[in-house]
Amino acid sequence: MEDLSFRHHVRAPAGGARKSAIVGVVASGNLEVLVERVLPDAECALEIKTAAVGFGDVWRAVIGDFVERYSPGGLRFSINDGGARPDTVSLRLAQAVRLIAEHGQ
Amino acid sequence: MTAPLRDMTPAERARSTSFYEASARTRLELLLDAGSLIEFIGPEQREVSPHLRIFDLPEQFDDGIIVGHGRLDGSPAFVAAQEGRFMGGAFGEVHGAKLTGLLRAAREIGTIPVLILFDTGGVRLQEANAGELAIAEIMRAVMEARAAGVKVIGLVGGRSGCYGGGGLIAGCCSALAVSEFGRIAVSGPEVIETNRGVEEFDSRDRALVWRTMGGKHRRLLGAADLFADDSVQDFREAALELIGLVGPFGLDGLKAEQERLADRLRRFGACLDAVEIWTISGIAHAETIPELPTDQFIALADRIGRTSRDAR
């Protein structure tokens, strides 16, 4: 297992008012993303625990692209990864931002 | 073209969603009345397994089971749903404790039914002792809840089936609904083959696996009370029907269950294949059962009429 941590300054807060949301499942080639609205509007953070060791640079690139595209201000993402490919990671992150922007608690 | 998701009613979504394919969260969201699920010890509390880290394995924030309460057709219900894709839905220490706690809460209240959406290969090998203990605790908690008047309904239709200790717990429930994909057994196909040899059970013979452990056989044997088509809406309707059907639990019921099982063993104990059992049961062209469409199969199963409704 490898733990990775990223913190970004972002230009705008994420949409919606929900406090938290979760998407995905921890399985081979899949991951879960727990997203919580707990940070200041101009920040976002991602904590990753991954079964695939040695892919820090790929994570950095995927997350940099995600933050640039979605500007998820105020959100903390906690990720348990079962060795998902970068496209699956991007998809789950996008789903998490979408879900926390929906109505609900 | 399917309609965009946001234009569909919850019932339409539940009707068009495969129970087998759906995640545990989606199953619960669509099984219960819309928006009624309140989760206990949700993922944000991060009550993860204390064992997996030692084995360098990834954790899941809910440890593979969602427990909570919600409403089913307006009435309160406790629910538990296993996620079959996380470690095969297997029971670990935290996973098991969440279900035990839910059943004990139901026992204290006494009137609210419990729905267990099984999807499990059994005990998680990495935390075997804790998992085995959890199975024992859950079986006790099921029986105590039933003795206190609680209806405990099992729904089986997930990709991991309902194996190992999950099969034992299912056997303790007040009633079960199963889909064609909902295999119920204790030892799985590979376990039997490993222990008893390929001549005893060929785990690669998928047709053999399905007709021995699959939902249709379990329904015809009376182990499952209802056969459901593979949509979340079908399981919702099955759960409602079973809550209405389950009678009181007591010594008479246990004696009747003992008698039912003894009779089953007497009649079918020497059979070598499920098709023999179906034939002895009076089903013409029993070998066609696996191919029967759901509506025809349900009509047949209801005609055979074997259920455990008076027993259990």
pLDDT averaged per 10 residues in sequence order, chain B, 312 residues: 69 96 97 98 98 96 98 98 97 98 98 98 95 98 97 97 98 96 95 94 94 95 94 98 94 91 94 95 93 94 69 64
CB contact under 8 A, B58 and A25: no
- The CATH architecture annotation of domain B5-184+224-249 reads Alpha-Beta Complex (3.90)
**Edge-to-edge strands of the sheet including A20-24?**
A2-9, A43-50, A75-81, A31-37, A20-24
Q: Which domain holds residue A61?
A: 2-100
Query: Which residues in chain B touch residue A80, judged by CB atoms under 8 angstroms apart?
Result: 58-61
The verdict on A90 touching B (C-beta cutoff 8 Å) is: no
CB contact under 8 A, B61 and A104: no
The verdict on A22 touching B (C-beta cutoff 8 Å) is: yes
**B47 burial level (CB within 10 Å; 0-12, 13-18, 19+):** middle
Q: Which amino acid is at B227?
A: F
Paired residues of B115 in beta bridges? B79, B153
- Residue A30 sits in a domain whose CATH number is 3.30.230
- Asked if pLDDT for residue A54 goes beyond 70, the answer is yes
Contacts of A44 (CB under 8 A, 6+ apart): A7, A8, A10, A14, A67, A72, A73, A74, A75, A76, A77
The verdict on B53 touching A (C-beta cutoff 8 Å) is: yes
Beta strands in chain B (DSSP E): 38-40, 65-72, 75-82, 114-118, 152-156, 175-178, 226-227
Model pLDDT for residues A2-47, shown as the tens digit of each residue: 999 999 999 999 999 999 999 999 999 999 999 999 999 999 999 9
Q: How many domains is chain A partitioned into structurally?
A: 1
In angstroms, rounded to a whole number, what is the distance separating the alpha carbons of residues B30 and B26?
Answer: 6
Residue A17 lies in a domain: yes
| Mutation for testing the B interface, residue in A3, A19, A22 having most B CBs under 10 Å | A22
Q: Which amino acid is at B82?
A: Q
Tell me, what's the pLDDT at A38? 98
Cβ proximity of A49 and A16 under 8 Å: no
Tell me, what's the pLDDT at B302? 87
The verdict on B110 touching A (C-beta cutoff 8 Å) is: no
Contacts of A76 (CB under 8 A, 6+ apart): A35, A36, A38, A39, A44, A45, A46, A47
Residue A42 lies in a domain: yes
- Which residue among B44, B53, B60 sits closest to A32, beta carbon to beta carbon? B60
Residue A11 lies in a domain: yes
Nearest CA distance, B1 vs chain A (angstrom): 23
In angstroms, rounded to a whole number, what is the distance separating the alpha carbons of residues A50 and B56?
Answer: 10
Tell me, what's the pLDDT at B2? 52
The verdict on B5 touching A (C-beta cutoff 8 Å) is: no
Tokens 């196909």 appear where?
B189
Residue A49 lies in a domain: yes
The verdict on A78 touching B (C-beta cutoff 8 Å) is: yes
Cβ proximity of B26 and B17 under 8 Å: yes
Band of residue A59 on the pLDDT scale cut at 50, 70, 90: very high
ipTM above 0.90, yes or no: yes
Tell me, what's the pLDDT at B304? 80
User: Nearest to residue B63, comparing CAs of B80, B49, B50?
Assistant: B49
Q: Which amino acid is at B248?
A: P
Tell me, what's the pLDDT at B308? 53
Tell me, what's the pLDDT at B1? 45
